[in-house]
Amino acid sequence: MRNYFIAGNWKMHKTRAESAALATALVAQLKDGKHKYLVAPSFTSLETVGKIVAGSNILLGAQNMAAEEIGAHTGEVSVLQLKDLGVQVVILGHSERRHVYKEDDALINKKVKLAIKHDLEVILCVGETLEERESGKAEKVCETQTEKGLDGVSAAEFEKVTIAYEPVWAIGTGKTATPEDADSIHAYVRKVVSRLYGAEAAKAVCIQYGGSVKADNAAQLMAKANIDGALVGGAALKPETFVPIAKFG
């Protein structure tokens, strides 16, 4: 049986008190869950949530990090600071970072390598816009983002990487790629990984789906051959919507 990885990205939501309440509920309700779990609160809530999930089956994730360890980078948060708070996983290359904040593949790659250097797991996000999909470029976009995001990452280092396929047009829109569409891109990304790192690495890599995942479509998505988990946005903000996804199957 595959080890599914269900991650909640809380984005720019929740005060520390609200984050604490959500984390406390998830620790209680997921303690008997059989999958791998992660929550990624805002930077301001990392310490609060970290203390609550410590020792549980829920990993502490960060939503982003700087490309430099230290220095004059106003408003940035370094990998050293994240490690100090007990962060275990960092989400990099999320579509909002790429498209709203204009992070390119080279910057994301620099972050990926720095995170791995400091022994953090990485969730590397890839995905196409609606325009790219409609012009037949979905596979090529995901291939390029995967290749460039992993440039210089060794086979041994790649073992710390999860890939999240998140079609930009399906994030926060209520639209979801059909399970068949999602599985097709996942299969293609797996072929890219096979070319880069070999068949065994491609078989072992966890590829999450992210894009309006809900309780009523989670099991259908996870049933597909190449979908190994979910990166959940809006539905991760309440126990009653996240727990059913986390406990699918």
Query: Could you report the per-residue pLDDT of 19-72, keeping only the tens digit for each?
Result: 999 999 999 999 999 999 999 999 999 999 999 999 999 999 999 999 999 999
186 is catalytic: no
- The pTM for the full model equals 0.97
pLDDT of residue 207: 98
Residues 87-94 have a mean pLDDT of: 98
Neighbours of 208 (CB within 10 A): 24
Query: Could you report the per-residue pLDDT of 131-183, keeping only the tens digit for each?
Result: 999 999 999 999 999 999 999 999 999 999 999 999 998 877 777 789 999 99
From the list 35, 94, 103, 132, the catalytic residue is: 94
Element (H, E) at 88: none
Q: What percent of the chain has pLDDT over 90?
A: 93
Q: How would you class 17 by CB atoms within 10 Å of its CB: exposed for 0-12, middle for 13-18, buried for 19 or more?
A: exposed
| Whole-number Å distance between alpha carbons of 241 and 216 | 10
103 is catalytic: no
Contacts of 172 (CB under 8 A, 6+ apart): 212, 233, 234
Phi then psi for residue 100, to 5 deg, are -85, -40
- Where do the domains of the chain lie, and which CATH numbers do they carry? 5-246 (3.20.20.70)
Length of the chain: 249
From the list 96, 121, 128, 166, the catalytic residue is: 166
pLDDT of residue 68: 98
- Would the pLDDT of 90 be above 70? yes
